[in-house]
Amino acid sequence: MAQWAWLVALFPLLAFALMEVAPGRLRLRRDTLGTVAVAASFVVSLAVLVDVWAGARAAASWQWAQVGPVQIPMGWQVDPLSAVMLVVVNLVSLMVHVFSLSYMEGDVRYGRYYAILSLFTFSMLGLLLVDNFLGLFIFWELVGLCSFVLIGHWYEEKANSNAAMKAFLTTRVGDVAMLIGILVLFAHLGTLKYGDIWSAAQSGQLSLDVITTASLLLFGGAIGKSAQFPLHVWLPDAMAGPTPVSALIHAATMVAAGVYLVARAFPLFSLSPTALYWVAVTGGFTAIFAATIAVVQDDIKKVLAYSTISQLGYMFLGLGAGSLVAGSFHLVTQAFFKSLLFLAAGSVIHAVHTQNLHEMGGLYPRMKWTAWTWMIGALSMAGIPPLAGFWSKDEVLLAAYRSPYPILFWLALVAAFLTAFYITRATWLAFFGTARDEQRARHAHESGWRMQLPLGVLALLAAGAGLLGASWFGHPFTHFIAGSVPAGTHLAEPEPAGLVQGLALLAAVAGIAVAGGIYGGGWVSRASLIRAGRPLYVLLKRKYFVDELYGWVFVKGTVALSWLTGAFDRYIVDGIVNAVGWLGVQLAYATGDFDQAVIDGAVNGVGQAVEGGGRLLRRAQTGYVSTYLVTLATAVVAVLILLVLRR
């Protein structure tokens, strides 16, 4: 079955093409078409996974283009890592397709929504399937484009389209680094294929400096896509998109592409301790950084967004600590529990028409299904055994504990505590206590099987998927995933430590207990808490002022720079452009006669309208031909003199 893996990506692509070109009746059934295609993909990917689990591998490659002596191949491959990810992506995508049938019903751009969803699914699957960096980059950009379109789905509101642009631009900053990293590898090895690069790197064809540079540049792309500090700012804003989109793209799949990239390039990263160190530090710092912000968010989706950033940080921490398994395992479980949380949040939002936690409350009696599935997701994320999140987080913590930088372990432990805290807080505020908005709470209700079924399926996985990597069964996932890197790759397989498990459990329980105490038990009033820690509260509420900082430095900076060069352009119409200089144009206007204009232009051109030294630069482009000419002559002569003198 593995040799048919390419079918997985084909179905959504065909669906997208059909949706775009097919006329009439078929166009009306875009939702069905998309859902069926993804379902078909899911079935195939499941079969592929079973096959790969049994030891099968498949790959195909053909020559796409040739640059001079260098060949650019294009091809696909399946190995354990991509096979697992294919199933995860297809499953979440399928669930989101089903969920959206109800959630997006009656939307203005319902058809387009499904079309882009199909295109996204195709691109994401393509990203997982390709066997080379060029293909990876192409699909990398395509998923970014789809994300852009879907974040701006309700573009009538300016904030949404701004968020879309912010996401696209911010991630592209990372892409700059990534593309250069790819080019560095390409220039040194003349190949873009993963396999060739790994073997070249391991056989010592690349110096350590090159490996470190390339790895860090690639990691730059991952930082952007996976919203790690300092490029995390786009993900919270991306919540402007429809909630199912947040669940699919901004929780489970696209944002995880960065982690996938590092996991995919692990044979390269593992050769450079420096690169791994920075991956670990970035991940560890982001994990706790985002978790603290999540604690004070009022918007249920923002809580989940910062939580996603934090969890992605965990994955990088795991990878950076040298454990491929920890990172990729947490990647899988997070996809399940986080998309579950997002969809459950969607169900709540659909019912009460608000995202503000303080306008919810008391929903449990009316939305039991949603509440229970949410809680399974929450407990899984908090790390309560035997739910999935416990096992994967345990792997990450263990890897950090055994790594050369144990300080990261303690950071991650605090982050675990915070995770449990903020998710309990959100749970309590949304579902329990008194309804703070009677009107909304009274109207709340479950929204039918199309929304409940995905919640159920994902809850099952969020609870049970961890058993794959559980120590009870001898870590089957560990052995499986190790098959996705070449034999010689150094994989850290940390000794299990009872201490780590105990501390992790303790942190989770403590987080739940403290949050439950504050919000449920009423130990302290929220108001007094805010009063007590006012500066800290403001700092967190404003997200450490990172957005403000960027606004100043980059946005204002760019605008200022653009203004400066623009001032070069046309706005500086100093009256000092002398009166006669004006004349050429004026006369041409007045008479419309070309000959005169030419003559006047020539008359005025060289002799008259010239500027004094200091003002010269500022006036480089005022729209007057005389100025142009003198500038031109000055430039040429200046370059000439400079070159002559330089000799």
Partner 1 sequence: MATSLLPLLPQLLLVLFALAVLLYDLGNEDRPGLGSLAMLGPLAALLGLGIVAGHPGEYWGRMLKVDSFSLFFQLLTYAGTFLVILLSRDYVERQPIHRGEFYTLILLAGVGMSVMASSAELLMIYVGLELMSLSSYALVGMIKRQDQSIEAALKYYLMGAVTSAILLFGISLLFGITGTTYLPDIASALALTKDIQGNLLLIAAVVFVLAGFGFKVSLVPLHMWTPDVYQGAPTPITAFLAVGSKAAAFAGFIRLLATGLPAAVSLWQPLLALVAVVTMTYGNMTALAQTNMKRMMGYSSIAQAGYILTGLVVFTPDSLAATLYYLLAYLFMNIGVFACLIWVANQQESEEIAAFRGLGQRAPFYAVSLAIFFLSLVGIPPTGGFMGKFYLFFAAVQSHYVWLAVVMVINSVISLAYYYGVVRQMWLEPCLPAAPGAAAGGTSRWSMPAARASTSTPPAAASSTPEKAQSWPEPTKPASLALGVAVVISLLLVLLLGLYPQPFFEWVGKAALLG
Partner 2 sequence: MNTTLLAFFIVAFISLVAAWRVITDPSILHAGLWMGLSFVGVAGIFLLLEAEFLAGVQVLVYVGAITTIILFGIMLSDVGEVRVGPEPPGWVQAGAAWHRGLRHAFPLLVAAGFAGTMLGLYTQSGWGQLRERPLELAGLSVGGIGRELFSTFALPFEIASLVLLAALLGAIVLAMREEER
Q: Which of 576, 588, 620, 625 binds partner 2 (CB under 8 A)?
A: 576
Which residues in 466-504 are b (16+ Cβ under 10 Å) and which e? bebbbeeeebebbebbbebbeeebeebbbeeeeebbebb
Q: Is the Cβ of residue 67 or residue 487 nearer to partner 1 in the bound state?
A: 67
Phi (first) and psi of residue 236, to 5 degrees = -60, -40
Query: Which helix (H) or strand (E) is 618 found in, with range?
Result: none
Q: Is the Cβ of residue 136 or residue 326 nearer to partner 1 in the bound state?
A: 136
Q: Judged by CB under 8 A, does residue 575 bind partner 2?
A: yes
Distance between CA atoms of residues 96 and 103, nearest Å: 10
Rg (CA), the chain: 29
Q: Judged by CB under 8 A, does residue 630 bind partner 2?
A: yes
**Residue type (1 letter), 511:** G
User: Which residue in the block uniquely carries the two structure tokens 């049970």?
Assistant: 464
Distance between CA atoms of residues 1 and 54, nearest Å: 11
Among partner 1, partner 2, none, what does residue 609 contact (CB within 5–8 Å per kind)? partner 2
Burial class (CB in 10 A: 0-12, 13-18, 19+), 156: exposed
Neighbouring C-beta atoms of residue 47, cutoff 10 Å? 17
HSE-CB for 567 with a 13 A CA cutoff: 11
Q: Which residues pair with 299 in a beta bridge?
A: 356
Among partner 2, partner 1, none, what does residue 608 contact (CB within 5–8 Å per kind)? partner 2
CB of 146 to partner 1, least distance (A): 12
Q: Is the Cβ of residue 358 or residue 479 nearer to partner 1 in the bound state?
A: 358
Residues in the chain: 647
Among partner 2, partner 1, none, what does residue 66 contact (CB within 5–8 Å per kind)? partner 1
Cβ atoms of residues 269 and 201 within 8 Å? no
CB of 560 to partner 2, least distance (A): 25
CB of 606 to partner 2, least distance (A): 5
User: Which residue in the block uniquely carries the two structure tokens 């605090």?
Assistant: 414
Burial class (CB in 10 A: 0-12, 13-18, 19+), 32: middle
Q: Is the Cβ of residue 525 or residue 565 nearer to partner 1 in the bound state?
A: 565
CA angle 380, 383, 386 (to 5 degrees): 70
Stretch that binds partner 2, among 332-340, 392-400, 477-485, 633-641 (CB under 8 A): 633-641
Among partner 1, partner 2, none, what does residue 142 contact (CB within 5–8 Å per kind)? partner 1
CB of 600 to partner 2, least distance (A): 7
Among partner 2, partner 1, none, what does residue 106 contact (CB within 5–8 Å per kind)? partner 1
**Residue type (1 letter), 229:** F
CB of 574 to partner 2, least distance (A): 7
Q: Is the Cβ of residue 349 or residue 462 nearer to partner 1 in the bound state?
A: 349
Among partner 2, partner 1, none, what does residue 561 contact (CB within 5–8 Å per kind)? partner 1
Q: Judged by CB under 8 A, does residue 639 bind partner 2?
A: no
Site string for partner 2, 584-623 (x = CB under 8 A): --xx---x-xxxx--xx-xxxxxxxxxxxx--x-------
Distance between CA atoms of residues 603 and 306, nearest Å: 66
CB of 505 to partner 1, least distance (A): 34
Q: What is the DSSP string of 18-81?
A: HHHH--THHHHTHHHHHHHHHHHHHHHHHHHHHHHHTT--EEEEEEEEEETTEEEEEEEEE-HH
CB of 594 to partner 1, least distance (A): 7
Q: Is the Cβ of residue 158 or residue 647 nearer to partner 2 in the bound state?
A: 647
Q: Is the Cβ of residue 242 or residue 318 nearer to partner 1 in the bound state?
A: 242
Q: Is the Cβ of residue 430 or residue 577 nearer to partner 2 in the bound state?
A: 577
CB of 622 to partner 2, least distance (A): 13
CB of 436 to partner 1, least distance (A): 13
CB of 332 to partner 1, least distance (A): 26
Cβ atoms of residues 280 and 403 within 8 Å? yes
Q: Is the Cβ of residue 43 or residue 567 nearer to partner 1 in the bound state?
A: 567
Among partner 2, partner 1, none, what does residue 107 contact (CB within 5–8 Å per kind)? partner 1
Tokens of 228: 């790690």
Neighbouring C-beta atoms of residue 578, cutoff 10 Å? 16
Among partner 1, partner 2, none, what does residue 596 contact (CB within 5–8 Å per kind)? partner 2
Instruction: Give helix 388-402 / helix 324-352 axis angle, nearest 10°.
Output: 140
Q: Which of 580, 588, 620, 625 binds partner 2 (CB under 8 A)?
A: 580
User: CA of 591: how far to CAs of 461, 482, 594, 605, 625, in Å?
Assistant: 80, 81, 8, 19, 18
Q: Is the Cβ of residue 305 or residue 331 nearer to partner 1 in the bound state?
A: 305
CB of 580 to partner 1, least distance (A): 15
Q: Give the interface with partner 2 as residue ranges (CB under 8 A).
A: 574-576, 578-583, 586-587, 591, 593-596, 599-600, 602-613, 616, 630, 633-634, 637, 640-641, 644
